[in-house]
């Protein structure tokens, strides 16, 4: 099993929005970055776990855990001319944007803030801290366990 970190702006879609969604699941749509798309398409597997990270907000940080429940799904917003995420270069026959379904697993006992994550040498190689703008990114098992531990402090 692999671990990931998914960013979302809470004003657009927060962890509590996921908890309140039907079946506590949602399609992780709207990603329009090829590096992130390649991870969604090729690397994420059903059963993998991901941190839910709140970005561009008052207190950026990890707020919860979610689980990947389905993969290889064409992003429907890319085919919808009415969507902000519509991409005329994508089609049902040759989809350009592939995504996954996620399910809320559990909220962290507290938000582990970005500010705090920067303090620990154990996390200095985290993608989050070194490649700021990637919205889907891998987390190592050590990083995963360490951050879960922080949340319990």
Partner DNA sequence: GCCAACGTTGGC
Q: How many CA atoms lie within 13 A of 40 on its CB side?
A: 28
Tell me the two tokens of residue 58: 């008052």
Q: What is the dihedral of CA 137, 51, 153, 23, to 10 degrees?
A: 180
Q: How far apart are CA 26 and CA 104, in angstroms?
A: 9
Single out the residue of 47, 132, 142, 149 in contact with DNA (rule: CB under 7 A). Answer: 132
Q: How far apart are CA 33 and CA 2, in angstroms?
A: 21
Single out the residue of 5, 7, 90, 104 in contact with DNA (rule: CB under 7 A). Answer: 7
96 interacts with DNA by CB under 7 A: no
14 interacts with DNA by CB under 7 A: no
Q: How far is the CB of 122 from DNA (least distance, A)?
A: 18
The smaller minimum CB distance to DNA, of residues 22 and 89, is found at: 89
Q: What are phi and psi of 28, to 5 degrees?
A: -85, 70
Please count the residues of this chain forming the interface with DNA, following the rule CB under 7 A: 18
131 interacts with DNA by CB under 7 A: yes
Q: Are 100 and 68 in contact (CB under 8 A)?
A: yes
Binding characters for DNA, 31-60, by CB under 7 A (x = yes): -xxxx-------------------xxx--x
Which residues contribute to the site for DNA (CB under 7 A)?
7, 9, 32-35, 55-57, 60, 114-115, 118, 131-135
């Amino acid at each position: 099993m692999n671990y990931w970190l998914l960013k979302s702006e809470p004003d657009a879609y927060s962890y509590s929005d996921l908890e309140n969604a039907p079946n506590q699941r949602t399609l992780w749509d709207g990603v329009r970055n090829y590096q992130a798309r390649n991870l969604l398409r090729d690397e994420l597997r059903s059963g993998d776990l991901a941190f839910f990270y709140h970005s561009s907000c008052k207190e950026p940080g990890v707020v919860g855990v979610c689980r990947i429940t389905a993969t290889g799904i064409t992003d429907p917003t890319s085919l919808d001319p009415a969507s902000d995420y519509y991409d005329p270069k994508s089609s049902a026959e040759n989809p350009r944007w592939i995504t996954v379904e996620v399910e809320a697993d559990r909220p962290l006992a507290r938000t582990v803030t970005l500010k705090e994550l920067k303090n620990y040498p154990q996390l200095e190689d985290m993608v989050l801290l070194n490649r700021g703008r990637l919205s889907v990114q891998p987390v190592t098992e050590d990083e995963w366990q360490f951050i879960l531990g922080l949340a319990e402090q």
